[in-house]
């Protein structure tokens, strides 16, 4: 049954050693959870990604793979708390990318926010898929706002987006 691509599955039940068994599942995991405070284009993006998910699409499969791996790291890795002070005044995308890549990863024993990894996995996968899909509500918003993710997205997702925007 573990290799049956039609059975229901959950993010929280996946061990990294089992990735090969779940990456080809036809459906998203049953614990795919849209964060409760999502609204406007953020909520539209979550709904869009959920509705267009296709396990035959390599980007979608990659997004799930990355989301599962990062979900297993949470909440143990973080950017330094003073990261914005280093990144806010940079003028070019190349400088921002270089500075972000040079920031160290920080381990924390106490963290704020949700520690429910399935929510983070949904956020990571949604963000990756939405960035690659020119029809996603996020990409449409970005096209109308000088490639900005917008306050709703960045305030909602805080440093979660930081990991992908700078790579």
Burial, 124: exposed, middle or buried (Cβ in 10 Å; 0-12, 13-18, 19+)?
buried
- pLDDT of 99 higher than 70: yes
Q: What are the structural domain ranges in the chain?
A: 11-75+111-165
Higher pLDDT, 146 or 118: 146
pLDDT digits (tens, 9 = 90+) for 129-144: 999 999 999 999 999 9
């Amino acid at each position: 049954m573990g290799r049956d691509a039609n059975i229901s599955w959950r993010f929280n039940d996946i061990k990294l050693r089992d990735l090969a068994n779940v990456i080809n599942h036809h459906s998203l995991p049953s614990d795919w959870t849209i964060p409760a405070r999502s609204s406007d284009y953020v909520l539209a993006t979550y709904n869009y990604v959920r509705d267009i998910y296709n396990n035959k699409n390599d980007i979608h499969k990659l997004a799930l793979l990355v989301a599962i791996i990062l979900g297993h790291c949470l909440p143990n890795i973080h950017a330094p708390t003073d990261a914005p002070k280093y990144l806010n005044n940079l003028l070019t995308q190349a400088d921002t990318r270089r500075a972000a890549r040079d920031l160290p990863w920080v381990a924390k024993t106490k963290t704020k926010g949700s520690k429910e990894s399935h929510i983070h996995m949904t956020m990571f996968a949604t963000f990756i898929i939405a960035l690659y899909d020119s029809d996603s509500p996020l990409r449409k918003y970005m096209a109308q706002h000088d490639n900005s993710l917008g306050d709703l997205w960045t305030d909602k997702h805080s440093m979660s987006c930081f990991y992908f925007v700078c790579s």
